[in-house]
A and B are shown apart, each in its own frame.
Chain A
């Protein structure tokens, strides 16, 4: 199927070929009427210039009118569909051509019938009537048909010598040429007029499709707020017909309050002089509350003054309600989460209080058991045999063990209670102090304690002291039996954060058990290897976690262990010297 573009190009080429041939034929005939060579040369030049000018003008008009090609695809087809049936006074093609032919023939007949009355005058002006009509009704084609028919008919029937296409009188020939040129011009101008009308109509329809097709309210108001245009959607919102709205302002459509509000909004947009988008909440006359998302912009007159405004309103009431509902549900959910969290925290606290009270109250019976076992041993030893005394010894040992457990649990629980202070804590000093204490208790042990100076962190001094003591105690304990025990406290890293590390070359542990290290009462060593209750690292971890930090452990069985903990703000020491203080114990 040929496109509108191809058809147009073909049409232009054919029309040009026909008209140019006609011109050559007729103009040469015209030249033949002149006898002197000088006139012929001069006219020939003028004729050439005219031809060039006319064809240049035709090219300009034709090229400008070339329709868009198929490259635009859908949009071109859409435009074609829209413009079909939009030409003003459009007739079927055969009808407009028939009209052109009939009108022209009628005019020929009319001219023949009055030829006696008009004397020798050719009166070719009469033919402009059918040509103009044909062109206006049918466009370029019928116009040209009418022109050609009139030209041929007049030349054959009317202009002497009759019965021949030859035109004898140069005056007649001139008139005849003008008829053709006028006819051609009228046809072209009519075609252009029709095209621009069709284009305007296409645009109007395009806009109309959008405006009447959209669910958004579209409207235009003049500067005083009276509606110039509303679409069906806009009319639907206020429950009136378009004709009831046009010419009225918002006071006729909305309750006074909403009308005043709209007027104020309109004024704002018009005085701002540019397009704005905002939300409007309106009450309709039947009491419905609607929310619109509105884009309003000024409409300017030819002098550039604001003459009114246009608006596109989308009803978002349901969306707004949904949003409000979501907000409400979110708030409710947050509150519920907060409540649950509070409940959970309260329950946790209660549980910890219970554990604390329990551990605490276990002390008294424990003391009693220990006390009375003691009394038996001390005061009734004579009546007891060796086995009885051994049993009492086991009771005392078990008691001591349970006492340590209770103290461990209490220490662990205490670490989750109470306020957490943020102080500058000198870890190096804490470590040194602990080593001194341990060395005093076990002066016989030879341990190299290498403590980097100036390890400062921010945290709760009491808790960090408990943690540090536990780590140093562990290092001390698990290097027992090592010939050359070395314990180091230094600055390291945990997950890229600066950390404090305590390393020893003691018993170490298997990395497979690394996570269980922190489980309360879980132990990696037998009591007869390394005595303990297994709650120290749980306490350390809880302290570090309460500070928002992390703890990592690395161990190699038989080679040693490293414990590193980071706190959110491990501060760098004031004097970050690399020189480590040798701190031999013993």
Chain B
């Protein structure tokens, strides 16, 4: 069985620490790769640039994608992923502070698999992240390639 991983796209270092910590609590910490802006996320997923050496067939089980990102926004990253046949089916969960109806609508229109708002309360936040990790790594059945 191939290595199952999560790609976290998050530019806020504190959020990153808190998310990693929440996943570590359920022993998923070593399955996480982190991209810190939109462009880096695309490079990772298309195995380009600094990730050119990454094996093409190692798709993450899920991409946790923030919306407010430097360089390329989360919505732009999502659109690019969906436009490319190599990545069009990768599960993407928007994980964001935004509760704008507009962002939600845009995300679903671009075929995001889920839209999750980051709760302000840390306990709630940690629990949400943990549930996402377990769900996409253990519960969800991916496409068999």
Chain A residues, Cβ within 8 Å of B99: 410
Q: Whole-angstrom distance between the alpha carbons of A365 and B120 in the complex?
A: 10
Q: Whole-angstrom distance between the alpha carbons of A368 and B121 in the complex?
A: 10
Residue of A at shortest CB range from B125? A367
User: B137 CB to closest chain A CB, in angstroms?
Assistant: 22
Q: Which of B17, B21, B98, B120 contacts A370 (CB 8 A)?
A: B120
Chain A at the B interface: SS class: helix
Do residues B122 and A370 form an inter-chain contact, with CB atoms below 8 A? yes
A366 within 8 A of B: yes
| Given known A-B contacts A366-B120, A403-B120, A360 and B97 have beta carbons under 8 A apart | yes
Q: Whole-angstrom distance between the alpha carbons of A403 and B121 in the complex?
A: 8
Query: CB within 8 Å of B: which of A351-405?
Result: 360, 363-368, 370-375, 399-400, 403
Chain A residues, Cβ within 8 Å of B97: 360, 363-364, 367
Query: CB within 8 Å of A: which of B37-63?
Result: none
Residue of B at shortest CB range from A411? B99
Do residues A367 and B122 form an inter-chain contact, with CB atoms below 8 A? yes
User: A346 CB to closest chain B CB, in angstroms?
Assistant: 20
Q: Whole-angstrom distance between the alpha carbons of A410 and B125 in the complex?
A: 20
Do residues A367 and B21 form an inter-chain contact, with CB atoms below 8 A? no
Type the 1/0 row for A324-361, where 1 means its CB is closer than 8 Å to any CB of B.
00000000000000000000000000000000000010
Chain A residues, Cβ within 8 Å of B12: 364, 368
Chain A residues, Cβ within 8 Å of B18: 367-368, 371-372
Pick from A364, A373, A400 the residue with the most CB of B within 10 Å: A364
Chain B residues, Cβ within 8 Å of A366: 120
Chain B residues, Cβ within 8 Å of A372: 14, 18
Do residues A370 and B15 form an inter-chain contact, with CB atoms below 8 A? no
Query: CB within 8 Å of A: which of B1-48?
Result: 12, 14-15, 17-18, 21
| Given known A-B contacts A360-B97, A363-B97, A364-B97, A374 and B122 have beta carbons under 8 A apart | yes
Do residues A363 and B120 form an inter-chain contact, with CB atoms below 8 A? yes
Q: Whole-angstrom distance between the alpha carbons of A374 and B123 in the complex?
A: 8
Chain A residues, Cβ within 8 Å of B119: 367
| Given known A-B contacts A360-B97, A410-B99, A368 and B15 have beta carbons under 8 A apart | yes
Do residues A367 and B120 form an inter-chain contact, with CB atoms below 8 A? yes
Q: Whole-angstrom distance between the alpha carbons of A278 and B57 in the complex?
A: 89
Q: Whole-angstrom distance between the alpha carbons of A373 and B97 in the complex?
A: 19
Q: Whole-angstrom distance between the alpha carbons of A400 and B122 in the complex?
A: 10
Do residues B118 and A365 form an inter-chain contact, with CB atoms below 8 A? no
Q: Whole-angstrom distance between the alpha carbons of A366 and B126 in the complex?
A: 14
User: A355 CB to closest chain B CB, in angstroms?
Assistant: 14
| Given known A-B contacts A363-B97, A410-B99, A400 and B14 have beta carbons under 8 A apart | no
Chain A residues, Cβ within 8 Å of B121: 370, 400, 403
Query: CB within 8 Å of A: which of B92-138?
Result: 97-99, 118-123, 125-126
Chain A residues, Cβ within 8 Å of B122: 367, 370-371, 373-374
Do residues B125 and A371 form an inter-chain contact, with CB atoms below 8 A? yes
Residue of B at shortest CB range from A375? B21
Chain A residues, Cβ within 8 Å of B118: 363, 367
Q: Whole-angstrom distance between the alpha carbons of A371 and B98 in the complex?
A: 18
Pick from A367, A372, A403 the residue with the most CB of B within 10 Å: A367
Residue of B at shortest CB range from A402? B120
Chain B residues, Cβ within 8 Å of A367: 14-15, 18, 97, 118-120, 122, 125
Q: Which of B15, B17, B126 contacts A364 (CB 8 A)?
A: B15
Residue of A at shortest CB range from B98? A360
Q: Whole-angstrom distance between the alpha carbons of A559 and B142 in the complex?
A: 61
Pick from A371, A373, A403, A406 the residue with the most CB of B within 10 Å: A371
User: B90 CB to closest chain A CB, in angstroms?
Assistant: 26
Residue of B at shortest CB range from A365? B14
User: B56 CB to closest chain A CB, in angstroms?
Assistant: 34
User: A362 CB to closest chain B CB, in angstroms?
Assistant: 9
Chain A residues, Cβ within 8 Å of B125: 367, 371
Chain B residues, Cβ within 8 Å of A400: 120-121
Q: Whole-angstrom distance between the alpha carbons of A365 and B99 in the complex?
A: 17
Chain B residues, Cβ within 8 Å of A403: 120-121
Chain B residues, Cβ within 8 Å of A410: 99
Q: Whole-angstrom distance between the alpha carbons of A520 and B93 in the complex?
A: 35
Chain A residues, Cβ within 8 Å of B14: 364-365, 367-368, 371-372
List, sorted by A's number, 26 A–B pairs whose CB atoms are closer than 8 Å.
Answer: A360-B98, A363-B118, A363-B120, A364-B12, A364-B14, A364-B15, A364-B97, A366-B120, A367-B15, A367-B18, A367-B97, A367-B118, A367-B119, A367-B120, A367-B122, A367-B125, A368-B12, A368-B18, A370-B121, A370-B122, A371-B14, A371-B17, A371-B125, A372-B14, A373-B122, A374-B123
Binding site for A on B (CB under 8 A): 12, 14-15, 17-18, 21, 97-99, 118-123, 125-126
**Apart from the given pairs A367-B14, A368-B18, A370-B120, 6 other A-B contacts in the complex at a CB distance below 8 Å:** A360-B98, A364-B15, A367-B118, A367-B119, A367-B122, A372-B18
4 A-B pairs with the lowest CB-CB distances in the bound complex, closest first = A368-B14, A403-B120, A371-B122, A374-B122
